Amino acid sequence: MERIMTEFIDNHFDEIKDDLAELIAIPSESDDKERVKEALRLALKQAEDLGFKAYSVLDEQVGIVEMGEGPETLGIVAHVDVVPAGDPAQWDSDPYKAEERDGRIYGRGTLDDKGLVVSSLYAMKAVQELGRPLHKKVQLIIGTQEEVEWIDMDEYVKKYPLPDYGFTPDGSYPICNIEKGYIDQIMEFDLSGEEPDGLHLKELEIGTAVNVVPGEAKAVLSDGREISVTGKACHSSQPEMGVNSIYLLGEELKKMDLSENKLLKLLYAICEDFEGHYGDKLGLRSESDYYQGEFVHRNVLSPTILNAKDGRAEMAVNVRFPYGEDRYRVIDRLTLWAEEHGGKTVSVDSQHAVFVPKTSPFLKVFADAYEEVSGLKNEFVLEYGGTYAKAMPNIVSWGPLFPGDEDMCHQANEYISSDSLLISTKIFAEAIAGIVLSEESFK
């Protein structure tokens, strides 16, 4: 790595952390459109302060930061919206006040994805500091609805030219050229017309987001009592990392002498059919973890929201399916399950799985940058979560978690290590330089 870039990033690491702290201070939860726009404006101002052309499109749904010109465009696709912080009591510090301790920077969005928005900006600036001709354009494309339905990127890809290739710094190292698809399926159940004798379940309040395994669950009984349980929230792409409070609540209510009604039956059916993650009892267990010799994992299903009141229940199921799976088969099976339990599917949001050939020329540049800066050997691996790599062709998920790092994405006490933030910035700078300083094509 060229000394000028290394020194620039090292000398400006305090500014990187300061800019990140400013972004973290804005609670830009996806559904709060005004605060999300506020976070986007701040990120674009930070880009302008570094000397870049920066602007927003689509009524501030997407921000663009540009550097260089040329026949090819390297894209970096990131986002400033975050999932809800959840119960503040689960955090050891204010989720919206960045706090550095023990070599880690804590706060909602440090890892997903504000830390990497700032990292990407300074990586671009480090390349610019070389003062050499740039033969490609670089676009940092900043979204605002990544954690929910992608109305931002759906519109962007319809109306604007797309980069030729690139990465989203919203996952793990090494290069994630394969990414699972997802399904968010919402179901409704009519539970009216029933009032059993004796103590029974009246209401449920579970879940904060469709892509978060719920860590808290509350039930209200017919005598007004509230029953609460605490599990462990986590990203729904890897539910085994958490403890789903839906299942814990089912276990807790089984200890009580409750009269059975439709709502209790529904809760028990969910616990029975979905626990275990892999859809065995739904007939959705994947036959193989591989596609054409590449590890793609398997179907993973999680009930993430379950709310019930006044004779109606709403349930959200998040599915992560591997490349090669027919997502419509999964959707149809879940629809049938809902119908078998007196409900119906009311909406489905789905994105395809990603498979970018590891022989793609631009990936060689990424691999070389990773190996040179980190000293680790590159591999091509699977990304379990859903990222903006799905939004446009030839985008891979890349960084910031290194092998062995703890993944606190979507969890209380989310953090990024200072080392990961620093080294990632250097890796991105090396990759950008490898692309834009060369006159050859990487398509």
Q: What is the CATH number of the domain that holds 15?
A: 3.40.630.10
Neighbours of 11 (CB within 10 A): 9
In a domain, 442, yes or no: no
Inter-residue contact 298 to 162 (CB < 8 Å): no
Final residue of a structural domain among 326, 351, 376: 351
Based on the structure, what is the number of domains in the chain?
Answer: 2
Q: Based on the fold, state whether residues 149 and 11 are members of the same structural domain.
A: yes
Per the structure, the complete domain to which residue 22 belongs is given by: 3-179+354-436
> Tell me, what's the pLDDT at 142?
98
Q: Based on the fold, state whether residues 143 and 261 are members of the same structural domain.
A: no
Inter-residue contact 298 to 286 (CB < 8 Å): yes
In a domain, 270, yes or no: yes
> Tell me, what's the pLDDT at 23?
98
> Tell me, what's the pLDDT at 92?
97
Q: What is the CATH number of the domain that holds 236?
A: 3.30.70.360
Look at the alpha carbons of 29, 226, 249, 205 in this order and tell me if their dihedral is positive or negative: negative
Q: Based on the fold, state whether residues 134 and 212 are members of the same structural domain.
A: no
In a domain, 210, yes or no: yes
Q: Which amino acid is at 75?
A: G
> Tell me, what's the pLDDT at 195?
77
> Tell me, what's the pLDDT at 51?
98
In a domain, 209, yes or no: yes
Q: Based on the fold, state whether residues 382 and 417 are members of the same structural domain.
A: yes
Angle (nearest 5°) at CA 94 between 90 and 100: 110
CB neighbour list of residue 440: distance below 8 Å, 6 or more residues apart: none
Q: Based on the fold, state whether residues 260 and 161 are members of the same structural domain.
A: no
Q: Based on the fold, state whether residues 342 and 284 are members of the same structural domain.
A: yes
For 140-185, the DSSP string reads EEEES-TTS--HHHHHHHHHSPPPSEEEESSEESSEEEEE-EEEEE
In a domain, 443, yes or no: no
In a domain, 32, yes or no: yes
Q: Based on the fold, state whether residues 311 and 420 are members of the same structural domain.
A: no
The set of long-range contacts for 204-207, using a CB threshold of 8 Å and a minimum separation of 24, is: 204/249, 204/263, 204/267, 204/306, 204/307, 204/308, 204/309, 204/313, 205/307, 206/245, 206/246, 206/249, 206/305, 206/306, 206/307, 207/304, 207/305, 207/306, 207/307, 207/316
Final residue of a structural domain among 351, 382, 417: 351
Q: Based on the fold, state whether residues 56 and 170 are members of the same structural domain.
A: yes
Beta strands per DSSP E along 274-335? 290-291, 294-295, 300-309, 312-321
Q: Which of 322, 336, 299, 310 minimizes the C-alpha distance to 187?
A: 336
> Tell me, what's the pLDDT at 71?
97
Compute mean pLDDT per 10 residues along the chain, 443 residues long, and list them: 96 98 98 97 98 98 98 98 93 98 98 97 98 98 94 97 98 95 96 87 95 96 96 93 97 95 97 95 95 91 97 97 95 98 96 93 98 97 89 96 93 96 98 98 97
Run of H or E including 15: helix 13-24
Longest dimension (CA), the chain: 80
- Residue 182 and residue 237: Cα distance in Å, rounded? 9
Final residue of a structural domain among 315, 335, 351: 351
Q: Based on the fold, state whether residues 118 and 253 are members of the same structural domain.
A: no
Residue carrying the six token digits 């026949």? 71
Q: Based on the fold, state whether residues 429 and 332 are members of the same structural domain.
A: no
In a domain, 189, yes or no: yes
Q: pLDDT, tens digit, for every residue of 110-166?
A: 999 999 999 999 999 999 999 999 999 999 999 999 998 899 999 999 999 999 999
> Tell me, what's the pLDDT at 435?
98
Q: Based on the fold, state whether residues 55 and 165 are members of the same structural domain.
A: yes
Q: Which of 238, 82, 213 minimizes the C-alpha distance to 147?
A: 82
Q: Which of 112, 108, 109, 125 minimizes the C-alpha distance to 47?
A: 125
> Tell me, what's the pLDDT at 284?
97
In a domain, 441, yes or no: no
Backbone angles phi, psi at 203, to 5 degrees: -140, 155
Give me the helices (H) in 257-360, please. 262-274, 327-340
- Residue 239 and residue 211: Cα distance in Å, rounded? 10
Q: Based on the fold, state whether residues 21 and 117 are members of the same structural domain.
A: yes
> Tell me, what's the pLDDT at 122?
98
